[in-house]
């Protein structure tokens, strides 16, 4: 394993340098300690998490180089973690036992683990093999960047390892550059299995944990298979660009910035951007699995140039490189006697001074040498310019950027890259060149490759208020996919769009740019929300008005009516009837009761049956029973067995009995 030289940090590494230096000072006490009676700690390895000490060590029982990771027991106790030290130790050991039997060519599995006390502090330790190679973290901190082909090979290897773990139901939980190592064959090894434990809350997640964490871990910090794939995508972005998207100074801010955000891609990343974008979707359900991610990367292998070996950091230290002395190059000497150069003697305002003859000869010699040097340099430059070889620019349109670079590398041109979006040329392929194919171009001149950074972006249109068909047509014309749902709405006409949202980035507004094919969900109005008409019969007018206001219906009072059943002043009738459906602001008409209607009993005494019945019916009174000889004349009128006489007030619609002699 190559141990990073602390003086060789990149600008990003320098930002970590001050805190790293303090940690290294605090951890220097580990060096020289023997763990478990056999592992001699030799040197601190930078790049461990904030609560983990990583040291190069040697197994004294076989002089085998190993790596020992130390975690304090106290860091595993607290809210959401173990309640006691005993529980923390037991949980740690159970976790290590669950991964102890894992074997895979890419994985660096634990060899040994246990508990140890150093300087009065209890630690849990994990021992793994010491990998021959360099961590990606060290490469990045030295300012190294990988090509798309190199990152592709590493990504495929790590996908293989993660797929194996996920099939076993195990989550790695700590995929990041410090745990990815590259050997002399440029193949990857993944360390850190069995080490990472979830933080109880986002507030307790370290900045380093948050740097490669998926956005869903903001609510549940338990690592998942989808989070492993997301972390690998971010690691690959950092390999290629040196930056981690959305990274901030705290885990909480980092995850907040990632919520609902797609992975930013550009032509600089090349064709690997497409599978990386799917692997880092903000919604875990939309991400590729480790197997799918690896298969997508493998399909790109034929489109990329063969990867160059990744140069090891052990060939020359950073300090040696920047302090190496360069040999001085003597100036060119004249090859023939120079012609004498005559220069006017210096003068003052009032006295002329003549230099001695020997001094004049020396000055003439120096001027002659200078003139010859100038002529020589000018001649060399002119000869180089005239003798520079010219080559015809080949047709590079449609080639992947890597292949195009290789195709012109032999011509000695300065290759400049300009990114441009294109709907016709695949991501990472050349759209055009300047100068164009067939043009003669000298060595040392610039050639510009215009490289596709993917399809042109779609601009989100505002479709609120449009009809459903017009909205769908507008969105599809912009290259967007559409899903729709129906919702009743009182203010938007039926069939028109109530609202819309980008499902993966809900915070986007009209005018924002998104990738073509992005899904937009529209909500179509189903028309006004229908209200059930309440039962107003028997209520006062005030109570009826209050009930109608609640359901957003309007009241209309009609003329009062007689009612034998409803008391005076209460609602006796309504229209429409209770339970009917009305739209908002619909009208419910009602009438108040005037009480029962009465009439005066007409005089029917002495009338024949037919005549008496006619006179009673005219005022709304009906004949019930008759007694006696009905061929005679009416002698008495009874109601409920009691005699009533002409002029008495009775209920309209009531029944009377007629008595005959």
Q: Tell me the per-residue pLDDT of 457-487, one tens digit each, with 9 for 90 and over.
A: 889 999 999 999 999 999 999 989 999 998 8
Per-position DSSP letters for 270-296, written without gaps between them: -TTHHHHHHHT-SSGGGSPPHHHHHHH
What pLDDT is attached to residue 338?
Answer: 38
Phi, psi of 472 (to 5 degrees): -60, -45
pLDDT band with cut points at 50, 70 and 90 for residue 51:
low
Residue 28 scores a pLDDT above 70: no
Percent of the chain exceeding pLDDT 70 equals: 81
Q: 638 in helix, strand or coil?
A: strand
Q: What is the pLDDT of residues 335-344, one digit of tens each?
A: 333 334 344 4
pLDDT tens profile 67-108: 999 988 887 776 566 668 888 888 888 878 878 778 888 998
pLDDT band with cut points at 50, 70 and 90 for residue 656: very high
Q: What is the dihedral of CA 110, 115, 121, 126, to 10 degrees?
A: 0
Cα 354 from Cα 356, distance rounded (Å): 7
Please give the structure tokens belonging to residue 58: 């040697």
**Which pLDDT value is given to residue 465?**
92
Residue 524's pLDDT is 94
pLDDT score, position 197: 60
CA distances from 297 to 158, 178, 278, 370 (A): 11, 22, 11, 61
Better-scored residue on pLDDT, 458 or 317: 458
Identify the weakest region by mean pLDDT among 245-249, 298-302, 584-588: 298-302
Overall average pLDDT of the 134-139 stretch? 89
List, in order of start, the domains of the chain with CATH numbers.
11-129 (3.30.200.20), 144-303 (1.10.510.10), 390-452 (3.30.10.20), 458-525 (3.30.10.20), 531-592 (3.30.10.20), 598-659 (3.30.10.20)
Residue whose C-alpha is closest to residue 12's, from 279, 264, 208: 208
């Amino acid at each position: 394993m190559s141990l990073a030289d602390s003086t060789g940090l990149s600008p990003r590494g320098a930002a970590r340098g001050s805190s790293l230096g303090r940690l290294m000072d605090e951890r220097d006490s580990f060096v020289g300690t023997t763990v478990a009676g056999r592992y001699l700690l030799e040197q601190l390895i930078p790049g461990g998490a904030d609560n983990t000490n990583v040291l190069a060590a040697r197994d004294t029982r076989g002089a085998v180089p190993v790596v020992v990771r130390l975690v304090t027991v106290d860091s595993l106790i607290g809210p959401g973690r173990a309640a006691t030290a005993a529980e923390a130790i037991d949980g740690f050991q159970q976790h290590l036992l669950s991964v102890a039997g894992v074997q895979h060519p890419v994985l660096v599995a634990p060899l040994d683990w246990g508990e140890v006390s150093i300087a009065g502090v209890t630690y849990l330790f994990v021992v793994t093999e010491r990998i021959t190679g360099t961590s990606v973290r060290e490469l990045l901190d030295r300012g190294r960047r990988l090509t798309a082909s190199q990152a592709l090979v590493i990504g495929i290897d790590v996908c293989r390892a993660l797929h194996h773990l996920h099939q076993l139901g195990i989550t790695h939980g700590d995929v990041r550059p410090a745990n990815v190592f590259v050997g002399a064959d440029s193949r990857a090894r993944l360390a850190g299995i069995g080490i990472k434990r979830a933080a109880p809350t986002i507030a307790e997640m370290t900045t380093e944990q948050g740097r490669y964490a998926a956005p869903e871990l903001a609510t549940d910090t338990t690592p998942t298979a989808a989070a492993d794939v997301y972390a690998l995508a971010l690691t690959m972005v950092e390999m290629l660009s040196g930056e981690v998207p959305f990274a901030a100074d705290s885990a909480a801010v980092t995850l907040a910035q990632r919520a609902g955000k797609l992975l930013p891609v550009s032509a600089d990343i090349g064709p690997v951007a497409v599978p990386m974008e799917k692997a880092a979707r903000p919604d875990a359900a939309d991400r590729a699995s480790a197997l799918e991610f690896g298969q997508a990367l493998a399909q790109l292998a034929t489109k990329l140039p063969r990867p160059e070996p990744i140069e090891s950091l052990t060939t020359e230290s950073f300090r040696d490189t920047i302090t190496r002395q360069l040999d001085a190059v003597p100036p060119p000497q004249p090859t023939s006697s120079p012609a004498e150069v005559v220069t006017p003697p210096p003068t003052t305002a009032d006295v002329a001074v003549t230099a001695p003859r020997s001094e004049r000869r020396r000055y003439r010699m120096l001027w002659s040498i200078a003139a010859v040097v100038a002529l020589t340099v000018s001649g060399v430059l002119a000869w180089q310019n005239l003798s520079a070889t010219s080559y015809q620019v080949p047709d590079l349109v449609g080639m992947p950027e890597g292949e195009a670079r290789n195709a012109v590398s032999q011509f000695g041109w300065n290759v400049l890259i300009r990114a441009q979006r294109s709907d016709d040329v695949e991501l990472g392929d050349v759209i055009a060149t300047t100068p164009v194919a067939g043009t003669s171009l000298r060595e040392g001149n610039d050639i510009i490759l215009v490289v596709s950074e993917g399809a042109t972006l779609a601009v989100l249109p505002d479709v609120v208020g449009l009809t459903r068909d017009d909205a769908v047509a507008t969105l599809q014309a912009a290259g967007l996919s559409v899903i729709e749902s129906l919702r009743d709405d009182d203010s938007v006409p039926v069939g028109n769009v109530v609202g819309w949202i980008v499902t993966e980035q809900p915070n986007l507004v009209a005018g924002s740019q998104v990738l073509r094919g992005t899904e937009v969900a529209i909500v179509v109005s189903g028309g006004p929300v229908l209200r059930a008409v309440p039962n107003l019969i028997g209520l006062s007018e005030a109570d009826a008005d209050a009930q109608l206001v609640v359901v957003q219906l309007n009241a209309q009072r009609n003329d009062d009516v007689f009612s034998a059943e409803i008391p005076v002043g209460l609602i006796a009738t309504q229209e429409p009837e209770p339970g009917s459906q009305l739209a908002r602001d619909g009208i419910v008409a009602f009438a108040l009761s005037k009480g029962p209607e009465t009439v005066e009993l007409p005089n029917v005494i002495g009338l024949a049956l037919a005549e008496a019945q006619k006179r009673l019916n005219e005022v709304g009174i009906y004949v019930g029973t008759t007694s006696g000889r009905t061929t005679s004349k009416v002698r008495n009128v009874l109601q409920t067995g009691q005699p009533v006489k002409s002029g008495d007030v009775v209920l309209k619609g009531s029944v009377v009995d007629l008595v005959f002699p």
